[in-house]
Structure 1
Amino acid sequence: MQLASSGGRRLRHAALAARKHALEAERTVTRKELSAAARDAGKALDLRPAQRAVLSELVACWGEQEWERLLVWPSNDYLMSRTGLTERAIRRILRQLIDLQLIAPKDSPNGKRYAVKDLAGQVVDAFGFDLTPIYARRGDWAVMLMEQKQLREVQKRAFDEVTICRRAAEEALAALAAHFPEVDRTEFEGELKTLQARTPARSKVTLPADLLEAWQLLRTHAEEAFYNAGNAGLRVRHSDNNNGSPSEPCNKGFPKKAGAVLPTEQPPDHLSPKLILEACPTLGDYDQPVRDLADIVSAGRYLRAALGAHESAWAEAMEDIGTVRAALAVIYTLQLYEDDVARNGGKSRIKNPGGYFRALTRMVKSGKIDLAVELLAMRRRRMS
């Protein structure tokens, strides 16, 4: 059986629930406070523009009367003129606002909306809509907005991590193709394309639950493939028993530790990118111009994968000796390795460049060697 309230309006459960919301005792509400609560409600409930427009006009009708309920009585014609919506749309949106427990109807005997005045002409009551729930539920809006903010932050971090994993996987596969083209990358590249197709745009609110894990797994496998290829397929940790200068790896015929900087050379603290390029031509493998220290750091971060050094080695180097010297250590180690390959007919006595990079970093940290001096000496030998 359909129940109906006065005026022929069908009784709605939400309307009864909204009526239960009340203001605190002797509480007065300004239009500014009510408008702020309405804006928060619109954000918390993700109201559509038309719904927000009608709600805003209802709030604008509040005359700041000192009543127990926040009553307004605009006609549909007035709301139509203010919003540009049709009467049918106005009626539909009012029902929706009631169902959301934002407003509660207060119907007159004839279904009209109007104010009730006393003999002195003062408005003492009204029939129309009760906006009390909007303000009384402001705590609900605050909680909902906080939850939405936390959800957005979680999603942002998840998308950021996906981006990091995607770039790292692409970097590892590009390095694998450049340095070890004989390694089969078909499976990795197929998985990369599949994950790229599955990854939604950042504008989407949710990220599939298993997608981040899949990106992390692809990154790990791609980097491990590159690491193992650079380590001649050996799955063993590098044993660091080399305590000498990095110019003498394994003490087997490499140049002696560099001496002091010559008077005609630049001071070690002011190594220019040009000088580093002259000392380490392998820097040309970085396909971007190297004009300043920022470019040196970018090149070192990029070429780190060419050594087969794990990302943790790069992180350790940055923490121990600083970002710039970590990049210089990568470039210097790669140049030593390539020089040794050139001198020994395609073979190098540095079997694990990634492990050698770790050893070099620790020697720089302990003060056993000075990278700037070593680079200047390498340049001097190359220029002579």
Structure 2
Amino acid sequence: MQTHVSTTPFGRRPMKLGQISSQMVAKAVKPDAVAHKWQVFQDIREARELLGATDRSLAILNALLTFHPETALTGDAELIVWPSNEQLAARANGMPATTLRRHIAVLVDCGLVIRRDSPNGKRFARKGRGGEIEQAYGFDLSPLVARAQELHDLAEAVHAERRAFRVAKERLTLLRRDIVKLIDTGVEESVPGNWGKVLLDYQAIISRLPRSAPRQLVEAISAELAALYADIREALESFTKTQNPDANESHSGRHIQNSNPDLHIESEHSLRNKKEAGGSVAETDNVRSLPKRELPLGIVLDACPGVLELVQGGEIRHWRDFLAAAELVRPMLGISPSAWREAQEALGEQHAAITLAAIYQRVDQIGSPGGYLRSLTDRARDGKFSTWPMIMALLRVKLDAQRIGRDTERPRSAGSSEGGGLHVSEALLKSLNKPKGR
């Protein structure tokens, strides 16, 4: 008795060219081909994203494999299983019927199983008089045997991609760590170079790295960081080669000398003589009379507008943005990490950032910002330094400049509020306008 092997799905389900392709692959399987069903299933699970399979469809495939009694799938064996939807749902952890049908369709579309539907859509097997199966209607597992090597290769490709991605992320992490530490070394050891620009170049590269980046982008950014690392390393090695033991000692001496607070008394004195003591701790009566409280961020930014130029968008809304801007200012001023840590310990993170912004505002009048910061740090430890007088002095300079500008342009009444400029409260303005000698 001749039987016809069904190749189209039952009911309204359409036939697709992909299904015909899967049937052609299954038909071409060699009779001596053998595949371990659980090994094939493991390969499918590893390569499921490449195949387009879902976790639910894999749960159904796992259940279908349990209905085949043999572990080894051979090309010359009957590989059709015919569980009912109820039996299949039970072995798929109680999956709802609608979900079951939807993900069976996924398995068919992925070419992992073939539908062998009966005339009425039921799944069953017809047996002969001797008990052998003459005709079965259900799901054909022969594509798993035919595609066993292909599925194994896909799984290996996924493993290789994961390894490559892991190596790329490790390289990126190492490059980031090395570059940051080498920049700190260059600043700490006073190696000639524009370390502030190097740091900005590094941050510009890292800013293009999203939270979840593909391997290709990670490798591209790592390549740029590797070039930057090579330049930094070459600069440090070249400087090291030019130094002999005696030169190293003199270099260390010069570095310690730059950190000596006593060397900057003259710089502070010159600032006071110019009445532009924004980077000093000028202790005048009117400034000392201000109340001891936290500085508002708006006043700090009015006194130190220079930090706004370093921030993307030129806007600082919160203290955390201000602290981040201070991290950019520190290497640009050539201040060593150790001096910065000492300042943060003595002043606190926020006031250390305010001090750094004030120094940056008057950097053209300060010979050595690093040494000057150490001087202020020592005074802070002795209780002789506060950020209030420093910021108030900067505001005084700004108000004086605005006043001179208005007088130069045209006379204006004392109560006039025309034009832009710095706006402060009446109490603060009265304190700032108080004569120094009183």
Q: Deviations over 1:209-239 (max 9, x none)?
A: 53122111221233344456x36xxxxx86x
TM-score relative to the length of structure 1:
0.54
Residues 193-272 of structure 1 aligned to structure 2 (within 5 Å): 193-199=203-209, 205-208=215-218, 210-227=220-237, 230=239
Q: Which residue matches 1:60?
A: 66
Q: Which residue matches 2:81?
A: 72
Q: Deviations over 1:225-268 (max 9, x none)?
A: 4456x36xxxxx86xxxxxxxxxxxxxxxxxxxxxxxxxxxxxx
**Match for 1:109 among 119, 126, 135?**
119
**Match for 1:165 among 168, 172, 175?**
175
User: In the TM superposition, what is the alpha-carbon distance from 1:196 to its structure 2 partner?
Assistant: 3.1
| 1:85 correspondence with 2:85 | no
Cα distance in 2, alignment partners of residues 337 and 182 from structure 1: 15
Larger Rg: 2
Cα distance in 1, alignment partners of residues 19 and 188 from structure 2: 68
Aligned partners of 2:168 and 2:218 also within 8 Å: no
Aligned partners of 2:111 and 2:143 also within 8 Å: yes
Q: Deviations over 1:15-72 (max 9, x none)?
A: 222222244225576xxx1122122122123343212111100111113498644101
Q: Which residue matches 2:39?
A: 36
State the secondary structure of the residue aligned to 1:102.
Answer: coil
Q: Give the unaligned 5+ runs of structure 1.
A: 232-236, 239-306, 308-332, 348-384
Amino acid at match of 1:63: P
Cα distance in 2, alignment partners of residues 203 and 220 from structure 1: 24
Mean CA deviation greater in 116-125 or 210-219: 116-125
Cα distance in 2, alignment partners of residues 212 and 343 from structure 1: 37
Q: Cα distance 1:193–1:346, how it changes in 2: closer, same or farther (>3 A)?
A: closer
Aligned partners of 1:8 and 1:111 also within 8 Å: no
Aligned partners of 2:165 and 2:215 also within 8 Å: yes
TM-score relative to the length of structure 2:
0.48
Q: Share of identical aligned residues, percent?
A: 21
Q: Cα distance 1:344–1:198, how it changes in 2: closer, same or farther (>3 A)?
A: closer
Cα distance in 2, alignment partners of residues 36 and 71 from structure 1: 19
| 1:142 correspondence with 2:174 | no
Cα distance in 2, alignment partners of residues 156 and 58 from structure 1: 35
Aligned partners of 1:73 and 1:126 also within 8 Å: yes
**Match for 2:135 among 125, 130, 138?**
125
Cα distance in 2, alignment partners of residues 12 and 35 from structure 1: 28
Q: Which residue matches 1:11?
A: 15
State the secondary structure of the residue aligned to 2:135.
Answer: strand
State the secondary structure of the residue aligned to 2:139.
Answer: strand
Aligned partners of 2:89 and 2:95 also within 8 Å: yes
Q: Cα distance 1:104–1:35, how it changes in 2: closer, same or farther (>3 A)?
A: same
Q: Deviations over 1:55-113 (max 9, x none)?
A: 10011111349864410111222222222322121111111111111001001000111
Q: Which residue matches 1:156?
A: 166
Aligned partners of 1:44 and 1:145 also within 8 Å: yes
Aligned partners of 1:106 and 1:130 also within 8 Å: yes
Amino acid at match of 2:80: L
Q: Cα distance 1:162–1:4, how it changes in 2: closer, same or farther (>3 A)?
A: same
Amino acid at match of 1:77: E
Amino acid at match of 1:40: D
| 1:99 correspondence with 2:102 | no
Q: Give the unaligned 5+ runs of structure 2.
A: 1-6, 258-438
